[in-house]
């Protein structure tokens, strides 16, 4: 086989946490301890040699890389300090950039030198929209407590859709729409690449309903249950941070969906659906509990990662820490904005709310290019694993 290494790929790997890659000398210890590995699938040994050879095209179509949940066993037992877990994390980082669209935005988010622009782009967009709205003024303490941030972008006389809601929609919906389009486009390309990689061709295609029921739903259930996390030994307690974080996002998704339906749909027909919710409103309670769970979960992961880096004598990559900081920013600014509203401090409250909007926009806009993308791509890999082992396809030797 002719090997044509992609030097840019190797350079990316080194910058994304895979700088120990060359220490690997194929002893296969990582494959022995990995719960995902078996006699026919020497994972992650084969990924380590592919990465050393710079075989980018094989790695970006490798479902096993996405099935790995970085339990850390391979890194803990590696006699050469090659840190296969970190190398696999770097490969996933490259995959999200590789499948990201538009490519320029994906590359910007992955480059630490572009951090000022990564933060500055949504910060400027929110600031410009705030200026255009004509709402750049501070309310009185009484108005802040009574109306919350429903007048942040100003107000108009149309009772069925608040000006604040309209401007937030104008900021968040395009960001979310671009992220969804990018993920769908990337997932479609990845699925085709995995079919080619594993020489899987369909005897007959499942219907959309069959795919959801037989492959997607079971995969989601397994992910929510965190079944594979329990197979780890080195980082078994990672589930203590990861699971509350996941449940927090589910809770916040429910709250966001409720707010969108009540304000953007029901609010068009029923007057008075806009404005701050009561603290005893069940949706508000869910929002606050989810925000606290989000901060606690990411705090545990933060502590675990810092402890692991200190134990292994390494330093986390920019890619590893970016999402942790980003999620923490969403949670802290969200709770901070609510507390500042309740105690009635307009300057600090509006500043905190502005930061919260920027953080939320960053989470939406950059989702396909950060570790947050594993929500989509790992789920797809789980479904593909079930699909290629089903009666729907014929399987040939790789």
- Per the CB < 8 A criterion, the answer to whether 321 and 286 are in contact is no
Query: How many whole angstroms separate alpha carbon 193 and alpha carbon 106?
Result: 19
Across all residues in the chain, what is the average pLDDT? 85
**Does residue 195 lie in a domain region?**
yes
Domain boundary among 64, 98, 132: 98
Specify the pLDDT at position 6.
75
- 31 and 145 share one domain: no
Q: Is the pLDDT of residue 181 over 80?
A: yes
Q: For the residues 214-234, what does the mean pLDDT come to?
A: 79
Query: How many whole angstroms separate alpha carbon 296 and alpha carbon 302?
Result: 10
Domain boundary among 98, 115, 136: 98
- 94 and 109 share one domain: no
Read off the pTM. Answer: 0.85
Q: For the residues 91-118, what does the mean pLDDT come to?
A: 92
Of the listed ranges 50-64, 106-120, 121-135, 303-317, the least confidently predicted one is 303-317
Q: Is the pLDDT of residue 313 over 70?
A: no
Query: Which are the contacts of 369, defined by CB distance < 8 A and separation ≥ 6?
Result: 96, 97, 100, 105, 106, 109, 110, 182
**Does residue 397 lie in a domain region?**
no
**Does residue 140 lie in a domain region?**
yes
**Does residue 394 lie in a domain region?**
no
- 114 and 63 share one domain: no
Specify the pLDDT at position 290.
87
Q: How far is CA 227 from CA 169, 253, 372, 387, in A?
A: 37, 23, 20, 19
Query: How many whole angstroms separate alpha carbon 294 and alpha carbon 168?
Result: 22
Domain boundary among 98, 116, 131: 98
Q: Which residue has the higher pLDDT, 3 or 116?
A: 116
- 120 and 18 share one domain: no
**Residue 303: both structure tokens together:** 């502590």
Q: How far is CA 273 from CA 47, 131, 142, 186, 261, in A?
A: 53, 25, 20, 37, 10
Specify the pLDDT at position 359.
95
Q: For the residues 117-140, what does the mean pLDDT come to?
A: 94
Q: Is the pLDDT of residue 397 over 50?
A: no
DSSP E strands in 144-209: the ranges are: 200-202
Q: Is the pLDDT of residue 340 over 80?
A: yes
Q: Can you tell me which residue has the tokens 């986390």?
A: 316
- Per the CB < 8 A criterion, the answer to whether 372 and 363 are in contact is yes
Q: Is the pLDDT of residue 389 over 90?
A: no
Categorize the per-residue pLDDT at 390 as very low, low, confident or very high, splitting at 50, 70 and 90: confident
Cis link prior to 249 (omega < 30° from 0)?
Answer: no
Of the listed ranges 87-101, 186-200, 233-247, 339-353, the least confidently predicted one is 233-247
**Does residue 20 lie in a domain region?**
yes
Residue 141 buriedness (CB in 10 A; 0-12 / 13-18 / 19+): middle
Q: Is the pLDDT of residue 239 over 70?
A: no
Note down the domain range covering 19. 7-98
- 276 and 332 share one domain: yes
**Does residue 395 lie in a domain region?**
no
- 109 and 72 share one domain: no
Specify the pLDDT at position 119.
96
**Does residue 246 lie in a domain region?**
yes
Q: Is the pLDDT of residue 138 over 60?
A: yes
DSSP for 126-145, written as a single string: HHHHHHHHT--SPPPHHHHH
- 110 and 61 share one domain: no
**Does residue 1 lie in a domain region?**
no
- 132 and 155 share one domain: yes
- 159 and 77 share one domain: no
- 40 and 160 share one domain: no
Of the listed ranges 75-79, 169-173, 379-383, the least confidently predicted one is 75-79
R_g over Cα of the chain: 23
Query: How many whole angstroms separate alpha carbon 84 and alpha carbon 43?
Result: 10
Specify the pLDDT at position 306.
75
Categorize the per-residue pLDDT at 273 as very low, low, confident or very high, splitting at 50, 70 and 90: low
Provide the domain count of the chain.
2
Query: Dihedral angle at the C-alpha atoms of 387, 389, 390, 394, nearest 10 degrees?
Result: 100
- 31 and 53 share one domain: yes
- 109 and 85 share one domain: no
Specify the pLDDT at position 233.
64
Q: Is the pLDDT of residue 208 over 50?
A: yes
Query: How many whole angstroms separate alpha carbon 30 and alpha carbon 37?
Result: 9
Q: Which one-letter DSSP state was computed for residue 41?
A: B
């Amino acid at each position: 086989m002719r090997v044509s290494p992609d030097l840019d790929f190797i350079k990316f790997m080194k910058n994304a946490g895979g700088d120990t890659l060359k220490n690997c000398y194929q002893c296969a210890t990582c494959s022995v301890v990995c719960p995902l590995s078996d006699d026919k699938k020497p994972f992650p040994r084969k990924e380590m040699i592919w990465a050393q050879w710079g075989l980018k095209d094989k790695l970006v179509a490798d479902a096993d890389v996405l099935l790995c949940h970085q339990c850390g066993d391979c890194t803990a037992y590696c006699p050469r300090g090659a840190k296969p877990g970190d190398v696999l994390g770097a490969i996933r980082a490259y995959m999200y950039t590789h499948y990201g669209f538009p490519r320029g935005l994906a590359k910007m988010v992955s480059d630490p030198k572009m951090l000022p622009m990564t933060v500055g782009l949504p910060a400027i967009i929110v600031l410009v929209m705030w200026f255009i709205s004509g709402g750049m003024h501070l309310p009185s303490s009484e108005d802040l407590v009574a109306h919350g941030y429903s007048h942040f972008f100003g107000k108009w006389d149309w009772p069925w859709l608040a000006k604040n809601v309209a401007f937030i929609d104008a900021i968040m919906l395009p960001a979310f729409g671009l992220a969804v389009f990018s993920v769908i486009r990337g997932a479609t390309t990845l699925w085709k690449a995995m079919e080619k990689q594993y020489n899987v061709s369909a005897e007959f295609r499942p219907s959309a309903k069959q795919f959801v029921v037989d492959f997607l739903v079971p995969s989601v259930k397994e992910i929510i249950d965190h079944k594979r996390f329990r197979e780890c030994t080195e980082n078994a307690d990672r589930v203590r941070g990861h699971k509350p974080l996941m449940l927090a996002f589910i809770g916040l998704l429910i709250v966001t969906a409720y707010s969108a339906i009540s304000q953007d749909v029901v609010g068009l027909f029923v007057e008075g659906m806009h404005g701050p919710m009561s603290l005893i409103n069940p949706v508000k309670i869910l929002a606050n509990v989810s925000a606290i769970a989000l901060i606690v979960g990411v705090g545990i992961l933060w502590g675990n990662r810092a402890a692991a880096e200190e134990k292994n004598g390494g330093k986390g990559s920019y890619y590893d820490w970016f999402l942790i900081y980003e999620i923490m920013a969403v949670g802290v600014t969200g709770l901070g904005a609510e507390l500042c509203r309740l105690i009635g401090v307009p300057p600090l409250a509006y500043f905190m709310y502005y930061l919260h909007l920027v953080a939320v926009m960053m989470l939406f806009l950059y989702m396909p290019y950060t570790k947050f993308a594993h929500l989509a791509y790992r789920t797809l890999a789980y479904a593909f694993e079930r699909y290629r082992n089903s009666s729907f396809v014929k399987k040939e030797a790789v």
